[in-house]
Amino acid sequence: MSQEQLQAALAARERISKLLAPNPFADDDGSTPAALAAALTAQLPRPQFLRELVAAIAATRLIVPVPAHGLEEPAAAVAVEIGKPGGHKPHQNDPAQDAASLALHLDDGHIAMPVFSSQADMQAWRSDVRPAPVTPQRAAQVACLSTDQIWVLNPATDNIRIPRPAVISLSQAQKWVPSWENEQLQAELKEQLMAYKAMVNVAFEAGETSELRIYALIDRSCGKEEMLDAVEGAQQVLVNPDWANRVDHVEICPILWPIEQ
């Protein structure tokens, strides 16, 4: 047997193994899993809500939309505030890859992968697609490869943007530690920000419209030039792409010190 024949035989065996493997979602009725439903309806402040929601997603399955075979162009979708359907064509046998072909174009210019907690939520978005249950890890891996590493959960109903660092953590089967609770991340950011002469101190909290809010205490006695250097330097630190996988959106709030009474 030649090397090519051997590789072909091994590939065929792998395909057969996948076909014969037990379906972990055989008993799935398409409804929202209980733990995920509880997380979606929890009355919590936004940061805690998002943290608990991602934890619930990690422990269950998601539903992704699969385009109908032969569909050349996506049919019109229900209009949603956060984005609109993309124009990619279905091309993959992997259900998660097919979902990426129906990517959403968000208002901020990013491309996100639509995922759903239930078949009903998916049908509220589009009635011309089929539901396919997948593991959160697989859906996250495809989002990281084929979109801007972002999910939108239930875009026609709940319309929840799952941030990039959470999706990346799920793709690696790791627990997501939000930036506002991530002491290591904050220590590294603080070290870089405190390198500026006028920077007195730095504090962190969850943002209201951003993922992370940073309070930068700036010494007014250093003079205008040093104060501007600290503010501009902080902005340069935060736009560094090295932080993109660890914190999604950041806002910085400069505070002059001492505070005038």
Averaged pLDDT, 16-30? 63
State residue 200's pLDDT score: 94
**Per-residue pLDDT, 202:** 95
d(CA 256, CA 34): 48
Largest CA distance in the chain: 86
For residue 87, the Cα-to-chain-centroid distance in whole angstroms is 21
Tell whether the model's pLDDT for residue 234 goes beyond 50.
yes
CB atoms within 10 A of CB 213: 19
Q: What is the DSSP string of 64-90?
A: EEEEPTT--SPPPPPP-SSEEE--PPP
The whole-number average pLDDT for the span 89-110 is: 75
pLDDT for position 47: 93
Q: Is the pLDDT of residue 33 over 60?
A: yes
Name the H helices within the chain. Answer: 3-20, 34-41, 46-58, 95-100, 119-125, 136-146, 164-171, 183-193, 224-238
Amino acid at 28: D
pLDDT digit string, tens, across residues 181-227: 999 999 999 999 999 999 999 999 999 888 999 999 999 998 889 99
Torsion angle of the four alpha carbons 180, 183, 184, 185, in this order, in degrees rounded to the nearest 10: 20
Which of 38-42, 87-91, 106-110, 155-159 bottoms out in mean pLDDT, i.e. has the lowest?
A: 87-91
116-171 pLDDT tens trace: 999 999 999 999 999 999 999 999 999 999 999 999 999 999 999 999 999 999 99
The pTM is what? 0.78
Residue 244 pLDDT level (bands cut at 50, 70, 90): confident
Instruction: List residues bridging with 82 in a β-sheet.
Output: none
What is the SS3 assignment for 211?
A: coil
pLDDT at 121: 97
**Residues with Cβ within 8 Å of residue 139, at least 6 apart in sequence:** 62, 64, 96, 99, 113, 115, 151, 170
State the average pLDDT for the chain. Answer: 84
Cβ 121 vs Cβ 157: under 8 Å: yes
